Chains A and B, each alone.
Chain A
Amino acid sequence: MTGDAALQLLGDVDTIDEHAKTASGDVAADAAMDRYAGGDAAAFADLYDHLAPRLYGFLMRQLRNTTQAEDLLQQAMLQIHCARASYISGARVVPWAFAIARNLVIDAHRRRRREVMLDPDDPSADRPTLDPMPDEVLQTKQAARTIERALAALPESHRLTFELLKYDGLSLAEASEVLGITVAAAKVRAHRTYAALRAAVSGATTSEEGVER
């Protein structure tokens, strides 16, 4: 059952739209960044509202530590603030912000060993879930953990591509921009990751059925 739910959560890689229309939230973020670059100080609060939740989710998945995630979120927003003059009118701010966050994560990993600190009493340390349904919360969480265990076994480049597409809602074009690769390369990574996860999840389903017998 967990395996079926996990397969359901994975969905179909072919549904990833290479040229996905920019979400209205992203358009609003671009507009806020443009105003802020022009000197509208109040626009930074709008920019924070648009970017911070997504960046925080990304940082939490990479760091598994709320204190570090908060610290790096602040650093990322400050970097955006300091570099506001370099913002090109009409450019997409979301991939840029994610690239800044990713760089900070890389620096953090270089400085210290990656710690997995999950405080069971800290609700913000919950692992992210995909499309949770009220009546199947437990099953969905178990399915998500199955996927995460399988993800952890994959190369970091593939895992990150998957997470940017599936968890952070970036389009293929945006994810390729964050990662510094071509759209075709991002698509190949995504397909391979999905295939590997399906194989891992199917293997988990088979072993569960064997145990039940």
Chain B
Amino acid sequence: MNLPSDLKERVLAAAARQDAPTRPQLEARAAMAYAIAASAMAILFLAAGGVEHSQSRPFSYTIGIAAGASAIALAATVAVFRRGRAMLGPSSRAQLLVVLLVPALTFGWMLLWHDHYVDPFVRVGFRCLALTLLLASGPLFVATALRSGTVLRAPKVGGAAIAAASGAWAAVGVDLWCPLTETKHVAFGHVLPIVLLIALGAVFGETLLRARGRRSDDGV
């Protein structure tokens, strides 16, 4: 099919007018952004009291719970962010699995430990809920910003999956901080914030992640 003769010049000129980072530039920015987000998480964690806050629970149990949570977070991260050679990203099915499994596995994993020791006190879980949301906000913001406007398929599911992975990593920090594994506390303070993050991710996924047409500055 014959293309208009001047279209190539117009396209090349439009591309020259729009800044677009190269792969090395984006990799450097991403590394810096994630390092800052991780540092912010660490500072927040320490400011809240760090591991000492859970000292009323046997330390080996704290490490065990956090190790399992880390495995969930790592699996979610691989499923959501590993693209292999697929430019279009992981399948919607894989991302939906992450969205469904992260809260379920987090809940189940913590309940497994409940009968192994006596919770030192009783709390509803407001502080755990708030800490999870705060710890997740950094990586969620960075991941969303780096993928902004690039997701071609199912951006809602994509946003929800990114939020689930971010929430899973936040849960690792909260598990190190919180000594409680009572059912209602876990549901409200540890699982509900992940569900809220997922809902938020789905909403913002549609508006922020979705690939949209780009126009040149002259509107052609």
CA distance A72 to B213 in the complex (A): 8
Q: A70-B4, A88-B83, A104-B213 are in contact. Are A39 and B24 (CB under 8 A)?
A: yes
Q: Which residue of B lies closest to A108 (CB)?
A: B213
**B148 shortest CB reach to chain A, Å:** 10
* Partner among B2, B11, B24, B88 whose Cβ is within 8 Å of the Cβ of A78: B11
**B117 shortest CB reach to chain A, Å:** 46
- B215 interfacial by beta-carbon distance below 8 Å: yes
Contact (Cβ within 8 A) A99 B153: yes
Q: A48-B8, A73-B7 are in contact. Are A96 and B87 (CB under 8 A)?
A: yes
Which B residues lie within 8 Å of A83 (CB)? 20, 150, 211
Contact (Cβ within 8 A) A52 B20: no
Secondary structure call for the A interface:
helix
Q: A71-B220, A177-B86 are in contact. Are A85 and B21 (CB under 8 A)?
A: yes
Q: Which residue of A lies closest to B147 (CB)?
A: A86
Q: Which residue of A lies closest to B8 (CB)?
A: A48
CA distance A80 to B23 in the complex (A): 13
Contact (Cβ within 8 A) A73 B23: no
Contact (Cβ within 8 A) B23 A91: no
Interface string of A145-181 (1 = CB under 8 A from B): 0000000000000000000000000000000010010
Surface stretch bound by B, among A17-25, A53-61, A189-197: A53-61
**B102 shortest CB reach to chain A, Å:** 23
Q: A88-B85, A99-B152, A99-B153 are in contact. Are A82 and B1 (CB under 8 A)?
A: no
Which of A's residues lie within 8 Å of B, judged by CB? 37-39, 41, 44-45, 48-49, 52-53, 56-57, 60, 66, 70-79, 81-88, 90-93, 95-96, 99-100, 103-104, 107, 123-124, 128, 177, 180
